[in-house]
Amino acid sequence: MTRRVLQLSVNGRAHELMVEPRRTLADVLREDLELTGTHLGCEHGVCGACTVLLDGLAVRSCLMLAVQAAGTEVMTIEGLERDGEMHPLQEAFRDSHSFQCGFCTPGFVMTVLALLDEGRDLSEVELREELSGNLCRCTGYQSIVEGVQLAAERMAAGR
Amino acid sequence: MKPPPFEYHAVGSVEEAVGLLAEHGDEAKVLAGGQSLVPLLALRLARPAHLVDINGVSELASFANGDALRVGCLVRQRVAERAGAVGVANPLLVRALGLIGHTAIRNRGTIGGSIAHADPAAELPTVLVALDGEVEATSRRGPRTVAASELFRGFLTTSLAPDELLTGVRFPPWLAGTGWSFQEFSRRSGDFAIAGVAVTVRLDTNGVATDVRIALSGMGPTPVRASSAEAALVGQPPSEAAWNAASQEAVAGLDPPSDVHGSAAYRRHLAGVMTRRALREAHERAEVRS
């Protein structure tokens, strides 16, 4: 199958790749760019583990062809740290024990990053609704909700 | 869980898209948001030889609220959901949009894609049927308009020909004072509903219903209008007894599927309960008007 040139920016770095059109953005991130922090669970849009930011919006990277990301700015979990320091959201997740096995964590973090960026004041019910697109099989979600709430508090105080 | 090979065409215009569809017919599939098509590819339930990616056709991504609300097929569900103009133009549509999947799905999923995919359990086809909306379709043979009542033909099947592109969706003008409700039940937030219903109600100065719309989702191969229940409510003042009778009438003749999520009898019962709740909520929201 004919490969196509793909130019995109990932975590602030420009890339030019040759990709087969049938390959998903998730696979190109993981295999070609070796950014394996983006996890693949179900590979058909149900589990949310592969969530990344595409021009600032949370999207399922398993439900996009990589060629469709041409010209966009993609952010993955690897793009969060600054000079060796974790993002406040990552710190809040650590402090709240918001993960156990950690497989779903990158998807949750990217989903929540976009959510907090909207700056909306969410009740716990609304927050749980927003998190419902990401599946976690370990925590029972309570510690994830607490981690998000802690991050929201800290980030609001820091502003 | 990887899509099979296909020839990929990223088009820049409607002309280019319909040219490819005319050339390749049912060997081609249109790719918009991809939130339904890409899973089908990954599961290899669809194996199109050609994918026509319309995401670069910017003219398809606009909406306008003139006489009717006209939404370009490529407008993202999340964009429409959050656009104040759409909320004013059609509160039922905004409510239904918020029930589609999750935020990350709606960030990519499009209005036209959800309707063209024609899943009978999906929200947008049900709203289109409830409101007697229309879609605009175009091909090399020219443009045409298809009424919602003529569009949905079966499970994941519309009356659009393989060479036609659904370019836009039109919702009739929203009349001030119209009451509305969208109710659905799913096991988990964001899942396809086991049963759902869209209702609108208009009342006259005496509080008597002059126009009632009831459309049910997930109860057959297409969304269905409950015409006899609608007719039974017109001319009646609001009452629990009338809503109860109408909700029974709405589901009486339906033959929903039985599957792991519920039996046909359970779905019918659930749809009746949803309909009663929706009728009550729509009446509460309706304003008495001359």
Structure confidence by residue, pLDDT tens digits, B23-41: 999 999 999 999 999 999 9
- pLDDT less than 50: residues of chain A: none
Distances (CA, A) of B253 to B156, B249, B273: 22, 8, 15
B1 → closest Cβ in A44, A48, A68: A44
Q: How far apart are CA B99 and CA B102, in angstroms?
A: 8
Answer yes or no: are the C-beta atoms of A21 and A67 closer than 8 Å: yes
Q: Does A45 touch chain B (CB under 8 A)?
A: yes
Q: How far apart are CA B59 and CA B136, in angstroms?
A: 14
The 10s digit of each residue's pLDDT in B113-163 is 999 999 999 999 999 999 999 999 999 999 999 999 999 999 999 999 999
Do A131 and A154 have their domain in common? yes
Q: What length is written for chain A?
A: 159
Q: What residues are paired with B136 via a beta bridge?
A: B145, B168
Burial of A151 (0-12, 13-18, 19+ CB in 10 A): buried
Which positions in chain A touch B2 (Cβ < 8 Å)?
22-24, 27, 43
- Find which of B107, B117, B189, B191 to mutate to test the A interface (most A CBs within 10 Å of its CB): B107
Q: How far apart are CA B243 and CA B249, in angstroms?
A: 10
Do A92 and A153 have their domain in common? yes
Averaged pLDDT, B195-205: 96
pLDDT at B192: 86
- Please give the residue of chain A at the shortest CA–CA distance from B53: A68
Q: How far apart are CA B23 and CA B27, in angstroms?
A: 9
Give the number of domains in chain A: 2
- Which element (helix H / strand E) includes B168? strand B165-171
B190 → closest Cβ in A23, A58, A132: A132
Last residue of a domain, one of A57, A79, A101: A79
CATH entry, B179-285, from 3.40.50.800, 3.40.50.300, 3.30.390.50, 3.40.50.2300 = 3.30.390.50
Return the CATH number at A137. 1.10.150.120
Phi, psi of A58 (to 5 degrees): -70, 130
Q: What is the DSSP letter of B178?
A: -
CATH architecture of residue range(s) B7-53:
2-Layer Sandwich (3.30)
The structure tokens listed for B241 are: 């007894």
Q: Does A137 touch chain B (CB under 8 A)?
A: no
B105 → closest Cβ in A1, A54, A60: A60
pLDDT band, very low/low/confident/very high, at B188 (cuts 50, 70, 90): confident
Tell me: pLDDT of B290 over 60: no
Question: In terms of pLDDT, which residue wins out, B198 or A1?
Answer: B198
Last residue of a domain, one of A25, A57, A79: A79
Which positions in chain B touch A43 (Cβ < 8 Å)?
1-2, 42
Which positions in chain B touch A122 (Cβ < 8 Å)?
none
Q: How far apart are CA B164 and CA B144, in angstroms?
A: 10
Do A130 and A112 have their domain in common? yes
pLDDT at B96: 97
Do A73 and A92 have their domain in common? no
* Secondary structure (3-state) at B214: strand
Q: With pLDDT > 90 as the criterion, what percentage of chain B qualifies?
A: 92
Considering only CA atoms, which of A142, A127, A137 is closest in space to residue A97?
Answer: A142
A133 → closest Cβ in B34, B38, B105: B105
* Secondary structure (3-state) at A49: coil
Please indicate whether, in this complex, the C-beta atoms of A22 and B107 are within 8 angstroms of each other: no
Q: How many CA atoms lie within 13 A of A3 on its CB side?
A: 9
Return the CATH number at A73. 3.10.20.30
Do A26 and A72 have their domain in common? yes
CB atoms within 10 A of CB B58: 11
Q: Distance (Å) from the C-alpha of residue A45 to the closest C-alpha of chain B?
A: 7
Q: How far apart are CA B7 and CA B189, in angstroms?
A: 36
What residue spans of chain B are helical by DSSP H? Answer: 14-24, 37-42, 77-82, 84-89, 91-98, 103-106, 111-117, 123-130, 148-151, 227-233, 240-252, 264-285
Q: What is the DSSP letter of B68?
A: S
Answer yes or no: are the C-beta atoms of A95 and A150 closer than 8 Å: yes
The structure tokens listed for B85 are: 């103009």
**Selected residues 11-30 of chain A with any CB under 8 Å from a CB in chain B:** 20-24, 27
Integer-rounded Cα Rg, in Å, for chain A is 16
Q: How far apart are CA B57 and CA A31, in angstroms?
A: 30
A58 → closest Cβ in B4, B104, B188: B104
Range of the domain at A127: 88-158
CATH 3.30.465.10 fits B58-171, yes or no: yes
Last residue of a domain, one of A79, A106, A135: A79
Do A108 and A61 have their domain in common? no
pLDDT at A158: 81
Q: Distance (Å) from the C-alpha of residue B54 to the closest C-alpha of chain A?
A: 10
pTM, entire model: 0.96
Q: Does B104 touch chain A (CB under 8 A)?
A: yes
Considering only CA atoms, which of B19, B254, B282 is closest in space to residue B139?
Answer: B19
Residues of chain B with CATH 3.30.390.50: 179-285
